[in-house]
Amino acid sequence: MTPSHTPDSTAPWFAADDEPDHLDGHTIEELSDYLDRGKEPADPSVDESAACRIALASLERLHGAMGSMVQEEADRAPARDDSWVTTILDGIVRDSRSGRDIPISHPAPTARLSVTEGAVRGLLRAAGDSVDNIIVGRCRLDGDVTTPGVPVTVTVDANVYRGENIPTLADNLRSALLDALHSHTELTIAGIDVTIRDIFLIKPEPEGGVQNHD
Amino acid sequence: MGGYDVVACHDEFVTPGATVSCESRATIPDGKSRALLEYADDHTLVDRAVDGDVRAFEVLVRRHGPLVRAYATRILGSSHDADDVVQETFITAWAKLSTLENPAMAKSWLMRIANHKSIDRIRARRNHSNLDDVDVPASEDHSPTRLAEARSRSEALSQVLTALPEDQRRCWELKEFADYSYVKIAEELDLPVSTVRGLLARARKTLIREMEVWR
Amino acid sequence: MTDLAEFAREMESVVRSVPGVTAVYPATPVVVTVVATVVATVASTVSTAVSAVVGAGGEAAAELAKTPALVSVSTGKDGLRVAASIGVASGDSSTEVCRRVHDSIAESGGITEFTAIDTITVTVASID
């Protein structure tokens, strides 16, 4: 396995000092730059050289190996206490997601009552997640939610587990969302569009084998 | 809504002493939903976080935080400041999440932010002192015995990288992990571009040689 | 003018005691919500916010900076302006809880000391 460190004509380029002799006139730096450019514009003198192609493959392997190395360093890093997560979550500005104010009626002329769009989206996520075998993704309220009585269409992306009956799930989801909207808002709902975005969620196994799905 | 555009929890107001009750927002009302989120793909988590779901964002933080930290450590040349980079990366990510065109590419997008944040750190460090506070590698580690102990190719490469002469290693890490050009590396390390090219060439050769041994 | 600050805190406990309210969030006038995230400015921003609420600086503001009232009280064109931002339990109804909070504020004993009400703003900022 150990390559010979004595330069000779049969040694690979990386064991030799005279790269161009081993790489059909090219240097490994040229090849590295070529790779960094995405092999554009194409250079036939490189592409058609077996030695260059072997060296390019080595460079690509090295790049890949560097990536795996960092990934493994991340995986091997000892578990830390949770404070780093807390610090991040404390640092984010949550207000940026409140969205529009959706009015709530009241007879008093001095009353200004509303529920934020962000709160309603949170409600829709929670209501959707409570339906078995569904994880809700994006939620949108399309229409002028700030004016009472204007019809609003709700658009929801949902992920379902493999093998589930999609039309049934979509119906269950719609009714759960509608119930939630009725008890928490005065919105006039014109319709709820459910988009089943993906069907690749892996159902967690009840015992052991917990695995992150990427 | 007279004079009342911005509502909800003003976290940026919270001083350490002031107990503003935002804590209920961070609690988990539904254990089931939380468990499910761990199985959701990045696309779903990003969509939810854009909509304001802090728990989905938390899953992203836990999922990718360690890799962000590992990259930052490589780019910075030490783990010093890496935690700050992780924090800044995710706080920026939360703010800019809606600009992410392909939510499924969250991981590489996060790494790009981490890259920028790390580079900012290097700049700041350079402006504050001309002394490198990076760990000085012990060259004598690069012994055949030590390498033979490596259990994996990654471990071996890591050892080879650590054992490289400092200037070679810094050039390589900035090129490989921060995606720096020759010119930018030269600027960063105060070296002529030709020197940077030479250092990279030597690092590249050593690394490939060691990697090929592990094939 | 410290009456307003005290009143704000009184209103906060009124809001908290309304069934269905799970949280009270800071409801600050819009002028002070545009802030930098720089830590160094936080302290002064808080006292600015409190000054805005109280209407005068000084000791009252300094004291309040330690425990700022989450319900905002200020004087508007036609009288008193009260603003509260709340969280509601998902098992409840936001519309009902929101109206209950409004009514509790409007009917609370303290408010009759003030001549007129400009607006009572109640915003549901989270449902969980």
For residue B54, being part of any structural domain is answered with: yes
pLDDT of the residue at A128: 93
CB proximity list for A62: less than 8 A, separation 6 or greater: B204, B207, B208, B211
For residue B6, being part of any structural domain is answered with: no
- Kindly state whether residues B206 and B123 are assigned to the same domain: no
Tell me whether C75 touches chain A (CB under 8 Å). no
pLDDT bin (cut points 50, 70, 90) of residue A21 is confident
**3-state class of B58 per DSSP?**
helix
Q: How far is CA A61 from CA A15, A42, B67, B173, B209, in A?
A: 17, 20, 20, 16, 12
pLDDT bin (cut points 50, 70, 90) of residue C112 is low
The pairing of beta strand A111-116 with beta strand C117-127: parallel
Sort out which chain A residues have CB atoms less than 8 A from C120's CB and list them.
108, 110-112
DSSP state of A143: S
Phi first, then psi, for residue B156 (nearest 5°) are -60, -45
DSSP state of A9: T
> For the segment B113-150, what is each residue's pLDDT rounded down to a tens digit?
998 999 888 888 877 655 444 444 444 444 444 455 56
Mean pLDDT, residues C50-56: 41
Q: In 3D, which of B71, B29, C121 has the Cα closest to residue A70?
A: B71
Q: For residue B125, what is the domain's CATH number?
A: 1.10.1740.10
Q: For residue C64, what is the domain's CATH number?
A: 3.30.70.1350
Question: Does residue C32 carry a pLDDT above 60?
Answer: no
pLDDT of the residue at A173: 94
pLDDT of the residue at B80: 81
Instruction: Determine, for residues C70 and B7 on separate chains, whether the beta-carbon distance falls below 8 Å.
Output: no
pLDDT bin (cut points 50, 70, 90) of residue B215 is low
- Kindly state whether residues B103 and B144 are assigned to the same domain: no
Q: How far is CA A96 from CA A119, A144, B90, C33, C72, in A?
A: 12, 19, 15, 11, 20
| Beta strand ranges found along C1-128 (DSSP E) | 21-25, 72-76, 79-88, 117-127
Sort out which chain A residues have CB atoms less than 8 A from C128's CB and list them.
122, 126
Of B139 and B189, more confident = B189
- Kindly state whether residues B131 and B40 are assigned to the same domain: yes
pLDDT of the residue at A59: 93
Q: What percent of chain B has pLDDT over 70?
A: 72
Residue B103: give the domain boundaries.
30-135
> For the segment A110-128, what is each residue's pLDDT rounded down to a tens digit?
999 999 999 999 999 999 9
Q: What percent of chain B has pLDDT over 90?
A: 42
Question: Does residue A48 carry a pLDDT above 60?
Answer: yes
> For the segment B31-56, what is each residue's pLDDT rounded down to a tens digit?
556 667 888 889 999 999 999 999 99
Please say whether the beta carbons of C49 and C68 come within 8 A.
yes
Question: Is the previous residue joined to A41 through a cis bond, with omega within 30 degrees of 0?
Answer: yes
Question: Does residue B26 carry a pLDDT above 90?
Answer: no
> For the segment A50-81, what is each residue's pLDDT rounded down to a tens digit?
999 999 999 999 999 999 999 999 998 888 88
Q: What is the mean pLDDT of chain C?
A: 73
Mark which of B90, B105, B135 sits at the end of a domain: B135
pLDDT of the residue at A201: 59
pLDDT of the residue at A94: 82
Residue C26: give the domain boundaries.
2-127
> Domain tally for chain B?
2
Sheet of A151-161: strand order equals A134-142, A151-161, A188-201
Q: For residue B208, what is the domain's CATH number?
A: 1.10.10.10
Q: What is the mean pLDDT of chain A?
A: 86
Mean pLDDT, residues A27-41: 91
pLDDT of the residue at A152: 97
Residue carrying structure tokens 């003198």: A45
Please say whether the beta carbons of A126 and B56 come within 8 A.
no
Sort out which chain B residues have CB atoms less than 8 A from C125's CB and list them.
7-9
Neighbours of chain B (3+ CB pairs under 8 A): A, C
Interface of C with B (CB under 8 A): 22-31, 33-35, 37, 42-43, 45-46, 49, 65-68, 70, 76, 83, 85, 87, 90, 119, 121, 123, 125-126, 128
- Compare CB distances from B7 to C31, C34, C85 and report the shortest one's residue: C85
Alpha-carbon span A136 to A117, nearest angstrom: 16
For residue B2, being part of any structural domain is answered with: no
Mark which of B135, B166, B187 sits at the end of a domain: B135
Mean pLDDT, residues A182-205: 83
pLDDT of the residue at A95: 79
- Kindly state whether residues B128 and B143 are assigned to the same domain: no
- Kindly state whether residues B108 and B196 are assigned to the same domain: no
Mark which of B100, B135, B170 sits at the end of a domain: B135
For residue B7, being part of any structural domain is answered with: no
- Compare CB distances from A137 to B47, B95, B205 and report the shortest one's residue: B47
